[in-house]
Amino acid sequence: MARALKSVGHEVSGPLTRGANFSTATEGVDAVIIATSDSAIANVAAALTPEPECVVLHLSGSLGLEVLGTHARRGAMHPLVPLPTAELGAQRLLSGVTFAVAGDELVQELVTSLGGTFVTVADEDRARYHAAACIAANHVVALLGQVERIGREAGLSVDAFLDLTRAAVDDVAALGPQRALTGPAARGDWATLERHLEAIDESERASYRAGVGLALELSATHFDALGLEEEPVDELLEVRAVSLSSLA
């Protein structure tokens, strides 16, 4: 964040790291950005000396403004983009991404200066919003870790499957999740699902079944939306009801 803000002309001091004296960080600046883990935000905010003109803001997606205590001007600014390294993170923060914001208007000004867009997320909705964000990024990465493990057993690297993943994400953008879903769960091809579970390691089966359950739920929603109230909706829901426990 410091690199991105500097690159668009902001004067940035710091960042301050562990062990630094935070108490005077609010003096003579427009904003202090708390970029710690969620569990440390409240302690850092409490250590800052309140200044009426300084905005104290955090980058957490799951927390609201209350964690910042009694500072007169408070804000939240969560970028909807993975930031795995400082270099790549700075580039992505400047690529027109969306930020979930709350609080002081200066936060919106910072987002605009970075070339981003913003959506306002109320305090009571931020945990739910952040759960969706984690599913969209972290859980997808974790699933690709499973792809890597199972693919390796078949003699393939994860790279062999990435075009498939990219195409599926593009289909979601173009068609929506329900219409983009393909594969054996969407077709009700139970024999294929059984073969999958028999073929993969036992340690992978629980998470695979969970994924199939999500696909079945999405399929049932799609077919129901089309007005197909008997087959295959009833069959899908019946299989979902047993949570694929029979597919050991």
CA distance 210 to 14: 44
pLDDT digits (tens, 9 = 90+) for 34-46: 999 999 999 999 9
Please name the amino acid found at residue 86: A
- pTM here? 0.81
Residue 224: the pLDDT is 52
Phi-psi group of 19: left, alpha or beta (phi > 0 → left; psi -120 to 50 → alpha; rest → beta): left
Regions of the chain short of the pLDDT cut 70: 221-248
Q: Where are the domains of the chain?
A: 2-121, 128-241
CA distance 16 to 25: 9
CA distance 220 to 16: 51
Q: How far is CA 234 from the centre of its chain?
A: 33
Return the CATH superfamily for domain 128-241: ProC-like, C-terminal domain (1.10.1040.20)
Q: Are 248 and 199 in contact (CB under 8 A)?
A: no
What is the dotted CATH code of the domain comprising 2-121?
A: 3.40.50.720
Residue 186: the pLDDT is 87
